[in-house]
Amino acid sequence: MSPAAKKSPWLTPSLDWLLIFVPVAFALRYVPAWRNDTALFIVAALAIIPIAGWMGHATEQLAHRMGEGIGGLLNASFGNAAELIIALMALRAGHIGVVKASITGSIIGNLLLVLGVSVFAGGMKFKHQRFNKTAARSSCTALILAASALVIPTIFHYAAAQAPGGWSPAAEQNLSLAIAVVLIATYGAMLVFSLVTHKQLFVGGEADLATTGNDADAHQAIWPVGKAVGVLLGATIAVAWVSEFLVGAVEAAQHSLGVTEVFVGVIIVAIVGNAAEHSTAVTMALKNKMDLSLGIAVGSSLQIALFVAPVLVFASYAFPHQMNLEFTLPEIAAVVMAAFVTDQIAGDGESNWLEGVQLLALYLILGILFYFLPATH
């Protein structure tokens, strides 16, 4: 066997290299002499990335063991577990603005950044890449529905405020709660469509994803159920713990870095929660498996809009401050534009590198908007 073949997977470039930041985060948090909230925010963000990757891989391993139906349900339910945990920690700390912004950021990040990099990278290697147009269309239609649902509470706020006594926080909360129920029901219908009645439209990539793993050959072997459950449980606890560090340092980081709460949620928190998925989507595009790459990017956005957002609305009733689905005008504009552009690009069933550049250009434009957007109080 050649020396190259014997090289350890740990020597291959990998997100697992970022695991070094996990003990550093604990040291910055618990060693008084080293306490620096800005450094803790940055280090905790980097530490969450590889842990979230292990959460995702453990979920995939369990899904592989449980069979196609239960496996698909597991992936659909826990695909965005890291983002949900981070949001719950922020919700508990009262950072509702960060939670809402992270929802916006996850949706536009997956549709514009992840899909944009994937389409660009794949397009530089292959002149044209094709994918299932019917599946892409159904997913994009659901995205436009989700975007519309996020617009409605804001429209209600501005419309009802024109009439004396027409708007109240209680009325808006009830409206958001009703919309959250509809979104969850729609997500359930999407699961039935993709896992039961029309599953033939969505097959063809699951086996590739299971054998590809996050980045290293060490992940390729199928784990025993006990190991998968243990890793998933351990990674979940670690993500929750480190997320608490991240959320606790948000205010200090905002002031020292000169960014707003919305920018932190839309850009930083969203990228941190989705980084592991990002790398898998790009890898699949480079292998000319655009159905899977598109499924990761668009599917993750759908999970955020149709599942994570309403779950956070329900979960907020366990905390002192309830969360509604009223977003700021820049946030809903960003989500609507991202959904519309993605629908246009996915509509013809093929992609090229220029479309990747166009997606990334819109993401940069929106990122610049949120950077210069003043804080609201």
What is the structure's pLDDT at 72?
57
Mean pLDDT by groups of 10 residues along the chain of 377 residues: 50 77 93 89 91 83 68 66 89 90 92 92 89 82 86 86 76 91 90 78 52 46 84 90 90 85 88 78 87 85 91 93 91 92 86 93 95 80
Whole-number Å distance between alpha carbons of 140 and 132? 12
What string of DSSP letters covers 19-48? Answer: GGHHHHHHHHHH-GGG--HHHHHHHHHHHH
pLDDT at 218: 43
* pTM confidence score: 0.84
pLDDT of residue 333: 92
* Total residue length of the chain: 377
Yes or no: say if 122 and 290 are a contact pair by the CB < 8 Å rule. yes
Measured distance CA(113)–CA(281) in Å, rounded: 11
With 0-12 CB in 10 A as exposed, 13-18 as middle and 19+ as buried, what is 258? exposed
Q: What is the pLDDT of residues 303-313, one digit of tens each?
A: 899 999 999 99
- pLDDT at residue 103, as a whole number: 92
The reported pLDDT for the residue numbered 337 is 93
CATH H superfamily, domain 14-372:
NCX, central ion-binding region (1.20.1420.30)
Specify the DSSP class assigned to residue 121.
H
User: Residue with structure tokens 């949001």?
Assistant: 87
Q: What is the pLDDT of residues 283-336, one digit of tens each?
A: 888 989 888 888 888 888 888 999 999 999 999 999 988 999 999 899 999 999
- What ranges make up the beta strands (E) of the chain? 129-130, 350-351
| The pLDDT of residue 279 | 79
Structure tokens that stand for 27 in this block: 């040291």
- Do 104 and 274 contact (CB within 8 A), yes or no? no
